[in-house]
Amino acid sequence: MEIDLIVGSMMGAAEYVADELEQELIDSHQVTQHLDADLEELPTDGSHIWLICTSTHGAGDYPDNIEPFIEQLKAQRPNLSRLKYGVIALGSSQYDTFCQAGRNIDQLLGELGANRIGERLEIDAQIQPVPEDSAIEWLPNWRQQLEAQ
Ligand SMILES: Cc1cc2nc3c(=O)[nH]c(=O)nc-3n(C[C@H](O)[C@H](O)[C@H](O)COP(=O)(O)O)c2cc1C
């Protein structure tokens, strides 16, 4: 299976999580990481799985590098009914808008008809100083659900 790892990161934590996920997944999947995701380059026909890995910045905002992709989704509103995806959201519970970017993209993809595999992972920097540990712990179950499809 081909997995597009779509990353939203301001200061590198989500990017580091994505690097670790890629290392875990490459033994059985073809993984491509996208730091500047472009909807035009991402198949939405179900041949690729999207794994979103994004932090939240500002007051519940998307990181700058993923914002253009979000705008493309909102403007073009593609039919994503054949797409399967997962979401890993990084944030901090010191903000009222905890993990809002991850929650928002999850909702947006759902509205566009995409099918989420497994539960969304929310990583709280207040509790988990090493976010990649949470992601690596979450991954086997997600992977199992993906591979059972
Ligand atoms: C200026 C600033 C604003 C932030 N705003 C939020 C927020 O609204 N909600 C949230 O859950 N986390 C927020 N965070 C926490 C980050 O999402 C968290 O530290 C994350 O691990 C950063 O990942 P990154 O290095 O990939 O950007 C904020 C952090 C900073 C520095």
| 31 Cβ inside 6 Å of ligand 1 | no
CA of 108 to the centre of ligand 1 (A): 20
| 92 Cβ inside 6 Å of ligand 1 | yes
Q: What is the pLDDT of residue 42?
A: 97
CA of 120 to the centre of ligand 1 (A): 17
| One pLDDT digit (tens) per residue for the chain, 149 residues | 899 999 999 999 999 999 999 999 999 999 999 999 999 999 999 999 999 999 999 999 999 999 999 999 999 999 999 999 999 999 999 999 999 999 999 999 999 999 999 999 999 999 999 999 999 999 999 999 998 88
Q: What is the pLDDT of residue 98?
A: 98
The DSSP-derived string for 50-83 is: EEEEEE-BTTTBPPTTTHHHHHHHHHH----TT-
Strands (E), 12-126: 30-34, 48-55, 84-91, 115-116, 121-124
Angle between helices 67-76 and 100-111 (to 10 degrees): 30
Q: What is the pLDDT of residue 147?
A: 86
CATH number of 2-147: 3.40.50.360
